[in-house]
């Protein structure tokens, strides 16, 4: 099972800018047909990934990092849109 973590201030900024909170964004990971791709443009200091998954009536794109193993679980740190832009 995966767990999710995020910065509350970045969550609020994402809600204002995109109308989507991280609590909703994590639902993309539960789509059985989701796609995961590495973000090659921003995987410099740490690997970053995209999750494309169906949420509600549409497809949501979520950028995230793997925060490291925690027992048999993996923690995913959800990123605000634009976080880590060069």
Q: Is residue 68 part of a domain?
A: yes
Q: Is residue 85 part of a domain?
A: no
Of the candidates 60, 68, 49, 59, the one whose C-alpha atom is nearest the C-alpha of residue 21 is: 60
Whole-structure pTM value: 0.75
Of the candidates 18, 33, 27, 26, the one whose C-alpha atom is nearest the C-alpha of residue 77 is: 26
Q: Is residue 22 part of a domain?
A: yes
- Predicted confidence at residue 78, as pLDDT, reads 65
**C-alpha span between 77 and 79 (Å, rounded):** 6
Domain, as residue range, for 20: 2-76
CA atoms within 13 A on the CB side of 20: 19
Domain count, the chain: 1
pLDDT of the chain, 86 residues: tens digit per residue: 567 888 888 889 889 988 888 889 999 999 999 999 998 887 777 888 899 999 988 899 988 888 765 443 455 666 655 444 32
């Amino acid at each position: 099972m995966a767990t999710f973590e995020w910065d509350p201030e970045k969550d609020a900024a994402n809600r204002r800018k995109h109308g989507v909170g991280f609590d909703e964004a994590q639902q993309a990971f539960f789509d059985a047909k989701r796609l995961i791709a590495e973000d090659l443009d921003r995987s410099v200091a740490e690997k970053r990934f995209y999750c494309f998954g169906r949420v509600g009536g549409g497809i949501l794109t979520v950028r995230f990092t793997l925060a490291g193993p925690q027992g048999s679980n993996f923690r995913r740190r959800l990123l605000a849109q634009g976080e880590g832009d060069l």
